[in-house]
Chains A and B, each alone.
Chain A
Amino acid sequence: MTDGATDGERTVLDADQVRRALMRIGHEITERNGGATDLYLVGVHTRGVPLAERIAGAISTFEDEEVPVASIDIGLYRDDLAVGRSGSRSLRPSELPGDVTGKVVVLVDDVLYTGRSVRAAMDALMDLGRPRAVQLAVMVDRGHRELPIRADYVGKNVPTAPAERVMVRLVEVDGEDGVVITLGD
């Protein structure tokens, strides 16, 4: 997936910086919500899921409560299906630990770009219940929004050109941690 991308690659965050950013986001989430009660972290497949697990892990180091982690697949809710795509992605089942109704759900994704994935994730979430509030945490906000969506918690704001690609790499998926920018493909 990320093979052959070493050419012209610029590192934005290294492994330590990723770790610190996730720890900070964990603090920000509990600070803003007055603790971890009623909190749900919902990772967006694929990389949002390990990110959500790590934020939950961070929160567990300073709060008494465990934060449940869930995952959703937005494949069925995308708005670009069959429009210039070169194949269909397999889907993963959405796994929710019970009802989200009345809970504060923090959606977790790797990169915030056009905002369309987040729109799809919110639709997917609403089909599963009625959360009291939905917040958004992302590792990287790269700008260029096409929808009125913003993140509540951001690992790093990275100004980019549309031709560039931002890749968040995680040990669980890619074997290493870091955020890099490459020039398109």
Chain B
Amino acid sequence: MASTTRTTSAPRKDEETTPRPATVVARDEEHQAQRTWRRRDLLDVDVLSADEIEIVMETADAMQEILSRQIPKAPTLRGRTVATIFYEASTRTRASFEWAVKALSGDVVNLAPSTSSVTKGESLIDTVRTLQSMGAGSIVLRHPESGAAAVAARHANVPVINAGDGRHAHPTQALLDLYTMRAHWRGDERDPIRGRKVAVVGDVLHSRVARSNAWALTAMGADVVFCGPPTLTPDEITEGFRHAGRTVTVVNDVDMALDGADAVIALRLQSERQIQGLLPSLRSYVRGYQIDAERLGRAKSDVLLMHPGPINEGVEVTPEVAAGPRSVVQEQVQHGIAVRMAVLYLTMTGQSEVGPAA
């Protein structure tokens, strides 16, 4: 993390030769008063303004600084408990949230469906109420049904953070992807995200990651291109964006989609799609859409290759590309903790006078 010496007269010799971190560049911005976050819940990205997204980014910078310390911990959530409910398998998202809570000195209670009475048919609303009565300070929810987080939030009186609901949304993934791009692209005068071309490649139809990323990126002024076989990129996937006045294009040719791209997000291909008859075969997908070195060569030379994980090795991307110099997959994982710390801090530390988010 950037740590800078600011002296009051001419910079010393070594400072003239080394590039100065972005945090010192704009004096006015540096002294700007802090902004206020007013949402209780984080359910979707489509409602977030560019300003709100910027608040998360800025706060995540502060969390990165905490994580870079010898003792990477702050006392902010001391004595408060975050309940995570995962009705769907997830290793990294759950671990990332847990890590984030602990870095802020909070406690975590994990609920996994196989070990709880969810298998006995206990409803989502019951589960939310029970955890709330036990004293949960917020609820992190993953659920296979689109809209589950919104239902939970309607019945909760504590913050609800959507950790993925069906095909609908995965806000923290989109925010951490954006944070990773911003970390690479800021520093010079220009806006880090505006005007950048981001290609999202794969099973767009079933992907909450694609949808949330497109909302976040278009809010910040990036150009988003969805790419995949026609069966997985039907016209209706861009309708919501069109209604909201955002532009997202669909391109079925992967070479065209990657042409001049600043970032490529490869989506995870769920093997059950084949069974549903949406893909003739895995081989044909690999032939048409796998990101290999040659295809990635069409993008900008400093392109960022991203994947929400876990990667199906040799399907969405070749192993060489996944482990190659353009891959920022490990950074995404690391930034995920800082971004989730920011979201937990923002939703959990100021909600007492505000009702549920609109």
Contacts and interface: CB of A to CB of B under 8 A. Distances in A.
B3 A98 contact: yes
Contacts of B13: none
B9 interface: yes
B71 A86 contact: no
B293 interface: no
A165 B73 CA distance: 34
Going nearest first, the 3 A-B pairs with the smallest beta carbon separation are: A97-B5, A88-B350, A91-B62
Interface stretch (B30-38, B253-261, B311-319): B30-38
Interface in B31-57: 31-38, 55
Contacts of A93: 1-2, 23, 61-62, 64-65
- Grouping DSSP codes into helix (H, G, I), strand (E, B) and loop, the A interface class, with mixed when no group exceeds half, is loop
A75 B58 CA distance: 13
Interface of B: 1-9, 23, 27-28, 30-38, 55, 58-59, 61-66, 69, 71, 73-76, 104, 342, 345-354
B352 A83 contact: yes
B104 A128 contact: no
17 contacts: A50-B31, A53-B6, A60-B8, A66-B9, A75-B76, A76-B66, A76-B74, A76-B75, A76-B104, A84-B352, A87-B37, A90-B55, A93-B1, A98-B3, A172-B27, A172-B28, A173-B33
A45 B65 CA distance: 15
B31 A95 contact: no
Interface size class of A (residues with CB under 8 A): 35 or more
Contacts of A173: 31-33
Contacts of B65: 93-95
Contacts of A166: none
A12 B28 CA distance: 26
Contact of B8 (A46, A67, A128, A170): A67
Nearest to B58: A90
Nearest to A57: B8
B32 A85 contact: no
Contacts of B342: 91
Given A56-B8, A82-B348, A92 B3 contact: no
A59 B9 CA distance: 11
B350 A95 contact: no
B2 A46 contact: no
Contacts of B351: 82
Given A53-B6, A97-B6, A90 B74 contact: no
Contacts of A32: none
A86 B354 contact: yes
B345 A88 contact: yes
A127 interface: yes
Interface string A39-79: 00000011001100100110110000011111001011100
A89 B3 CA distance: 22
Contacts of B64: 93
Given A76-B75, A123-B75, A173-B32, A91 B7 contact: no
Contacts of A50: 31
A90 B75 contact: no
Contacts of B62: 73, 75-76, 91-94
Contact of B353 (A49, A73, A84, A94): A84
Nearest to B34: A89
Given A76-B66, A89-B34, A98-B3, 13 more contacts: A60-B8, A67-B8, A77-B74, A81-B349, A82-B349, A85-B353, A89-B35, A91-B34, A91-B58, A91-B62, A93-B62, A94-B65, A128-B69
Nearest to B57: A90
B6 A69 contact: yes
Contact of B7 (A45, A68, A90): A68
B100 to A, nearest CB: 13
Contacts of B61: 91-93
Contacts of A170: 31
